[in-house]
Amino acid sequence: MFLLVLFFSPGNFCSAQNNSVIVNGKVKDKATGETLVGVNVVEVDQNGRFISGTTTDLNGNFSIMVSSPNAVVQVSYLGYASQIFELNGKSRLNVTLEETSALLEAVVITAEKIGNDGIIAVRDRATAVSRLEMKEMGELMTTTVEDMLMGRIGNVDISAISGDPGAGLNIRIRGTATLNARNNPLILVNGIPYDTNIEDDFDFATADIERFGNLIDVSPEDIESIEVLKDAASTAVWGSKAANGILSIKTKRGSKSEPVFNYTFKLTRSTEPAPIPMLNGAEYVELIKIAQFNNNAISYTHPTIDPEVGSLDYYNYSQNTNWIKEITKTAYTYQHSFSVRGGGDKARYDLSAGYNDEEGTTIGTGLKKLSLRTALDYDISDKLRFKTDVLFTRYDQDATYDVEDWDYRDKRIRSVAYKKMPNMSVYERDTSNNELSDFFTPANTLQGNSKDMYNPVAFAELASHKRYQDNTRTLFNLRYSITDRLVLDGTITLDLFDRKNKKFLPYKAIGYNYNDDITNQAIEDYHKKTSIYTQERIIYTPKLGARHDLSVLFQLLTENSVYKDYNVKTSRSASIQDQDPTGDKKLVSFSSGSSTFRYLSGFLQLHYKYLDKYIVTIGTLREGSSRFSPDSRYGFFPSVSTAWRISEENFMQSLNFINDFKLRCSWGVSGNAPDKNYLYFNKYSASSSYGYNGIAGVRPSGIELTGLQWETVEQLNPGVSLLAFNNRLSIEIDYYNKHTKNLYLPEFEIPTHSGYSKIDQNSGEMVNRGWEVMTDVRVIETTNWKFSFNLNLSANENLVLKMPENYKFETGDMLDNGNYRISIVPGNPIGGFFGYEYLGVYKDYDELVAVDINGNQIYDINGTPLHMIHGGSAAYEFQPGDAKYKDQNYDGVINELDLIYLGDLNPDLMGGFGPRIEYKGIVVNGYFYFKLGQKIINQTKMDTENMYKFDNQSKATNWRWRNPGDETDVPRALYNTGFNWMGSGRFIEDGSFLRLRTASLTYNFPKTLCERINLNEIKVYATMYNLFTWTNYSGQDPDVSQPNNPSQLPKDISRTPPSKKVIFGLTISF
């Protein structure tokens, strides 16, 4: 900061050389007459800027060289009113200062709160915006912003993708509005986009959403407020980027004060809830034998499930290993953050540094994060000021090694751990059952080779996956007020995302031979995104008399983003120490890419208010994107919002318990662009694999898409805002209807006789509608007691309205086991799925006969009763103990004609509520979060109860059908045949839940005590996360995240459930 001061005042220093004068003096307390030590004595110029300065010594004396005999000197001291003296030739200055601590507390901030857009006052909004002030969240000690937001704001659905550290989140504002993969909202940090979708050119086929993790890099301590902008009128200014809503975060800035230091320490303990109980070694062996017997009626043995007593491997295969437990641990996180903020008349600063050391609950995972932030404000004059922010975050993450090869059976350690045979030992054992130091990684077991089903502990411990990421954002803003009413404001931001993934799979991790092609595999991929954003604004607020308020905003936005990536993969490194994919190794793959995206928009907004009662905002936006061909490049998107403050009307004046009552209505259109670059070109690709007879080949690789255009989302949003009882009750109610037209359909299937199979095109319509209620009540407010309560409720309904006649979106071979069908058809919501109705188990032979609609048996021509068969080509005849599906059309065949709609993941109602109780310095804060009526495909249950392969199964399979007459709803064990686990209601569960998401206790030390030890504030607290969940759902976590791509089913796969966390924290401010 001092550098900056030096930089901006060179002229003054020059002139100081000529007429400098030395001034001496003494400073005393006015009340006591004692001399004051360490008082700041500063020469300032006419604009109040610092020129030179000193402090008083132990006797209260000072001596300062000033630039001229007529200089101005400012004397200031913490807790005292500062004074300014014009020297007028004097060379001695005796000062008495008056204490002001009493005054400070009386200061009431009366200024109107301005929204995060910096233009329209929160009170005058006509749009649907939810706002969260961070000081309300002060006691809630969280490690991430997302944790804090979860369930707090109506119709904002945030769900974790997995419980691993650094794992990403899915955020949906008002449901899924597009079939495009991009449904996450725009995140703004201090008004500039924070692009969560870093990897536009990244291979979506292999990337999962976890890679898009770490959505928001800002640490919760640095945030001042968060706003969620939901309707089209409020997001209008951001156009297509904000078609899915905006999460706008404003970080703290320095204010005029003495330096305030703040230190926070947090310790988090995370544990995992109990996993699904799995079979132990003996139960597993029994299950496998019977499953085999049921298939081919031959009694089955295998040296790896029942080894001969006394054989070398006997103890290696006679254990009771709980693989989940073996890869799980209790994890601790240490977090330090330090900040200093303050400033003078001209300059304000806010600097902070944070360091996280986080462990994951899966062994071998962890995250270290360093974040540094600088925010500076400097007023060069009344008219010109600048602002600069620098944000830097470094991640150093140990992630699980997710296998990328398709030939591995499973990609994730945790799902392998669920399947791994429990009779196998983690470590090698000798013939006396002593554990040796090497992991037991046999090349082949009953479950296949060790690539298919590796030892998860060995894999977690030995395979490494490091993720390094640096995010840097530098923002520079200049604001120039030509007059009081006309302001120019320009911002330029440089954003750098730099990420490297480094993976290494040593041969020992999977027990393969060391020179095999898949072992000692080293992968490195590198992505870099560089974005430059510019924002230029003209804000004009003409004076039109007392009754009218008008503000006009014109804004130009540009974005230029460049993506670069490369990826290299080698295998057969000669040493497990040599983990780089360079040198003399077998090259498996190498690729690189780069692309550029540009965006431009102009926005004009008029905001008019008459008599503080009638408010109208009109916005028009024109935007262009490099992703469209010149013909369809620009979109025009209007928006209007109006509000009527009824509480200001005369007839309402008698109801003086109402402070503010406002009716709002907004309407607007926004656009949505495809998420890939260069789609519209007729592209040609060259490849050595297209050559013929020694001539290199080039072939067209994509059709020219002249029909690509803006997908438009039209949103209508009426709402009500009420503040009453001295602002102690606040209610916001909103209804919305979000109509998506020209739906962007990626990978639209076209006839293959065109030479292609898929193109991208725009057609179809979809609607999302729903309502939100947010209330806040401060029930009790006395000096000692405070009690407040917060509640939000929301519901969203999604419906596909129109699709092209030949649009085909169906997945899943429904004659096979394990599949559900998704189909996007008019009249159904996105995310819905079809399957069979599950009726339990055929308990005996008699139940197997086919019946007609009246319940009468069906006979064939020869008069023998027909039995239920499966509709596939093998015409499998169902047997006693098999799963029983409802034959919806009574034809004796289970096939696709028997499918029914089983539900969808969209909750009927979601929300959160929580009380806050404060007694003197003690604050208790709780928050409950719930979703009702969503259906979940419990894939984990399917995987652990199908008894079809050699995978380990859950204890529930002990209730399986064994003998004719058994009444149970778990079918018999049947190896590799039959249809016992077709997609049916058996694995669909109601995912309604209520979760005590946070509970916290805070103690603020009394002011008097703090002052005695020269501190402003001491606060200790404990917060507990995910303490209880009330649900009937049998899986790990009913809060399943919506898949990013509508072609994927909303499945609960066996990932780390959200861990129970306890955070202890301490904050000191001085």
Partner 1 sequence: MKIYKIKKYMKNMMVISLLLVLVSCDKWLDLEPENDLIRQEFWQTKDDVDAVLAAMYDAFRETSLESLIWGELRADMIFITGTDFADYARIARSDISPTNGAVKWSEYYFAINLANTLMEYSGDVLEKDYQFTEQLKLSYDAEAIFIRALCYFYLVRVWKDVPLILKASTSDTVNFYVPKNTEYEVLDFLINDLKYAETIAYDMQNLNYPVVFRGRANLYSIQTLLADIYLWLEQYDQCLEYCEKIIGSGFYSLLSEENWFSLYYPGNSQESIFEIQYNDGYDFEENPMYEKFLPLSGIGAVYPTNIALTMFDREDIRLCAGNPWYKYLKKSITSFINRDNSERDANFLYYRYSDILLMKSECLAETGKLKEAYQQLNEIVNRAGVGSVELTESIFQYRESLLNERAKEFAMEGKRWFDVLRFTKKDKYADKNKITSIILSKFSNPNDLERLKARIKDTMFYYLPIPQIDMDVNKALVQNPFYDR
**Is 483 near partner 1 (CB under 8 A)?**
no
Shortest CA distance to 1034 belongs to which of 953, 936, 901? 936
The least distance separating partner 1 from the CB of residue 341, rounded to whole angstroms, comes to 27
For partner 1, the closer CB: 684 or 959: 684
Paired tokens of 32: 């006591």
Q: Do the beta carbons of residue 712 and residue 637 sit within 8 Å?
A: yes
Residue numbers 622-651 binding partner 1 by CB under 8 A: 624-626, 630, 633
Q: Do the beta carbons of residue 231 and residue 617 sit within 8 Å?
A: no
For partner 1, the closer CB: 758 or 786: 758
* Binds partner 1 (CB under 8 A): choice among 488, 606, 640, 777: 488
* Binds partner 1 (CB under 8 A): choice among 593, 826, 964, 1006: 593
Paired tokens of 957: 């399979």
Q: Do the beta carbons of residue 85 and residue 77 sit within 8 Å?
A: no
Paired tokens of 399: 């992630």
For partner 1, the closer CB: 620 or 659: 620
For partner 1, the closer CB: 371 or 742: 742
Contacts 24+ apart (CB under 8 A), 103-106: none
Identity at 440, one-letter amino acid code? F
Residue numbers 826-885 binding partner 1 by CB under 8 A: 873, 875
DSSP 84-119: EEE-TT--EEEEEE-B-HHHHHH----SPPBPTTSS
The least distance separating partner 1 from the CB of residue 753, rounded to whole angstroms, comes to 5
The least distance separating partner 1 from the CB of residue 707, rounded to whole angstroms, comes to 5
For partner 1, the closer CB: 379 or 732: 379
The least distance separating partner 1 from the CB of residue 803, rounded to whole angstroms, comes to 12
SS3 annotation, 381-436: CCCEEEEEEEEEEEEEEECCCCCCCCCCCCCCHHHHHHHCCCCCCCEEECCCCCEE
Distance CA 1005, CA 1010 (A): 7
The least distance separating partner 1 from the CB of residue 34, rounded to whole angstroms, comes to 42
**Is 458 near partner 1 (CB under 8 A)?**
no
For partner 1, the closer CB: 809 or 979: 809
The least distance separating partner 1 from the CB of residue 449, rounded to whole angstroms, comes to 14
**Is 439 near partner 1 (CB under 8 A)?**
no
Distance CA 224, CA 252 (A): 5
The least distance separating partner 1 from the CB of residue 1049, rounded to whole angstroms, comes to 20
**Is 381 near partner 1 (CB under 8 A)?**
yes
Query: How far is C-alpha 999 from the geometric centre of its chain's CA atoms?
Result: 22
Element (H, E) at 459: helix 456-462
The least distance separating partner 1 from the CB of residue 528, rounded to whole angstroms, comes to 14
* Binds partner 1 (CB under 8 A): choice among 33, 310, 545, 755: 755
Please report how many Cα atoms fall inside a 13 Å half-sphere around the Cα of residue 870, on the Cβ side: 22
Distance CA 174, CA 716 (A): 13
Using only the alpha carbons of the chain, give its radius of gyration: 34
Residue numbers 951-990 binding partner 1 by CB under 8 A: none
Sign of the torsion formed by the C-alpha atoms of 504, 508, 509 and 511: positive
SS3 annotation, 987-1016: HEEECCEEEEEEEEEEEECCHHHHHHCCCC
For partner 1, the closer CB: 701 or 1034: 701
Q: Do the beta carbons of residue 946 and residue 938 sit within 8 Å?
A: no
Residue numbers 659-678 binding partner 1 by CB under 8 A: 677-678
**Is 65 near partner 1 (CB under 8 A)?**
no
At residue 528's C-alpha, the angle toward residues 522 and 529, to 5°, is 155
| 257-271/83-86 β-pairing | unpaired
Strands of 541-648 (E only): list them.
548-571, 586-610, 614-625, 634-645
Report the Cα–Cα distance between both ends of the chain, in Å, rounded: 20
For partner 1, the closer CB: 110 or 752: 752
Please report how many Cα atoms fall inside a 13 Å half-sphere around the Cα of residue 819, on the Cβ side: 15
**Is 470 near partner 1 (CB under 8 A)?**
no
For partner 1, the closer CB: 93 or 866: 866
* Binds partner 1 (CB under 8 A): choice among 21, 121, 646, 750: 750
* Binds partner 1 (CB under 8 A): choice among 33, 310, 545, 751: 751
Residue numbers 1035-1054 binding partner 1 by CB under 8 A: none
Contact residues for 541 (Cβ-Cβ < 8 A; gap 6+): 485, 486, 549, 550, 551, 552
The least distance separating partner 1 from the CB of residue 300, rounded to whole angstroms, comes to 23
**Is 15 near partner 1 (CB under 8 A)?**
no
For partner 1, the closer CB: 320 or 682: 682
**Is 752 near partner 1 (CB under 8 A)?**
yes
Paired tokens of 884: 């029983």
Q: Do the beta carbons of residue 675 and residue 660 sit within 8 Å?
A: no
The least distance separating partner 1 from the CB of residue 609, rounded to whole angstroms, comes to 27
Place of tokens 């928050």: 927
Taking CB under 8 A as the binding criterion, the range among 121-129, 146-154, 298-306, 597-605 that sits at the site for partner 1 is: 597-605
**Is 199 near partner 1 (CB under 8 A)?**
no
Q: Do the beta carbons of residue 320 and residue 423 sit within 8 Å?
A: yes
Residue numbers 682-711 binding partner 1 by CB under 8 A: 682-686, 688-701, 703-707
The least distance separating partner 1 from the CB of residue 630, rounded to whole angstroms, comes to 7
Site string for partner 1, 542-571 (x = CB under 8 A): --------------x-x-------------
Coil, strand or helix: which one is 241?
A: helix
**Is 600 near partner 1 (CB under 8 A)?**
yes
Residue numbers 805-834 binding partner 1 by CB under 8 A: 805-806, 808
Q: Do the beta carbons of residue 727 and residue 721 sit within 8 Å?
A: no
Interface with partner 1: number of residues (CB under 8 A): 69
Taking CB under 8 A as the binding criterion, the range among 425-433, 596-604, 954-962, 1026-1034 that sits at the site for partner 1 is: 596-604
* Binds partner 1 (CB under 8 A): choice among 536, 578, 797, 847: 536
* Binds partner 1 (CB under 8 A): choice among 280, 374, 474, 596: 596
* Site residues (vs partner 1, CB under 8 A): 11, 380-381, 383-384, 478, 480, 482, 488, 490, 534, 536, 556, 558, 593-598, 600, 624-626, 630, 633, 677-678, 681-686, 688-701, 703-707, 749-757, 759, 761, 805-806, 808, 873, 875
